[in-house]
Structure 1
């Protein structure tokens, strides 16, 4: 009897695991992406935005580069890093159109490591309240300009249109 219960419990566990892993979220809607647990665990990936396919972190937050950075060396510390937090999810594999071979890390002066993509340190923006926000695009602060990155790790240098327009967009 105990063997039968153990087998039944094991079969239920395997079925639950298969159901969780086998879900296919192949939605390609243009609404704000809410990353699934599988996407969040995947690390860097791309998402569709008003600027095309851009790089986002495992939480779906938009990633930016700062033009004032020199190669893989970050120049964003103190007040800058409180507004533009460095992405520190090091060793997270890339998925989707992001290229895992372009993911790296660079040491910071506080002994932490920062994620790099295509040789650029990457950051989130504190004013991006949710996945899909791109409020930092084109801002000129802390000695440089902040740009979202495309799937290849290149800056997307399209500036947002002035507010007051009727585009209605506001994210992905």
Structure 2
């Protein structure tokens, strides 16, 4: 009996301790819980001045995004080995955060595997694996089919200059 009383006392203290840790807010109103997973899955697109291309669209990490001439509006034709070099800009959860880009230009497409990919003017967006830091656009004009995207949503077909934005993988 004595042991049961000790267990009950421990449970009461444990519950009281958990309740005390519930909130530091003294206002008496419920505060919405922060949602780190929502913030972590929200995709961001912004603009940045990159090389000779002017203001182009970049992802939330400042990496250049590209469109592919073999895609059509609403459809990705990059799969297999293509995706190994050109990973998709995944749509994430909820509305993408946009900075310097007209929201009317941005949409999503459903890929053949059922995943969602961000698109601009209906064209799916990709990253290039050789662009490892913000400001790089090494994927520009690779194979004559990969292009950076201007802030207006149009592909920029300027060939890389002597600034080192080469064609290599």
TM-score by length of 1: 0.66
Larger C-alpha radius of gyration, 1 or 2? 2
Shift in Å at residue 96 of structure 1?
2.6
Match of 2:49 in 1: 48
Match of 1:146 in 2: 146
Shift in Å at residue 41 of structure 1?
6.0
- 3-state DSSP class of the match of 2:137? coil
Shift in Å at residue 107 of structure 1?
0.7
The ranges of structure 1 where at least 4 consecutive aligned residues each deviate by more than 6 angstroms after the TM superposition are none
Match of 1:109 in 2: 112
Shift in Å at residue 94 of structure 1?
4.0
Q: How many residues align?
A: 129
1:63 to 48, 62, 65: 65
Greater Cα shift, 69-78 or 83-92: 83-92
CA RMSD of the aligned region, Å?
Answer: 2.6
Give matches, 1:87-126, under 5 Å.
87-90=89-92, 91-126=94-129
In the alignment, the residues of structure 1 paired with residue 95 and residue 82 of structure 2 have an alpha-carbon distance, to the nearest angstrom, of 24
Note the residue ranges of structure 1 that are not aligned, 5 or more in a row. Answer: 1-8, 12-37
Match of 1:136 in 2: 139
Greater Cα shift, 53-62 or 88-97: 88-97
Any conservation in 2 of the 1:118–1:152 contact (CA below 8 Å)?
A: no
TM-score by length of 2: 0.67
In the alignment, the residues of structure 2 paired with residue 42 and residue 74 of structure 1 have an alpha-carbon distance, to the nearest angstrom, of 19
Any conservation in 1 of the 2:76–2:111 contact (CA below 8 Å)?
A: yes
Shift in Å at residue 152 of structure 1?
1.2
Any conservation in 2 of the 1:127–1:136 contact (CA below 8 Å)?
A: yes
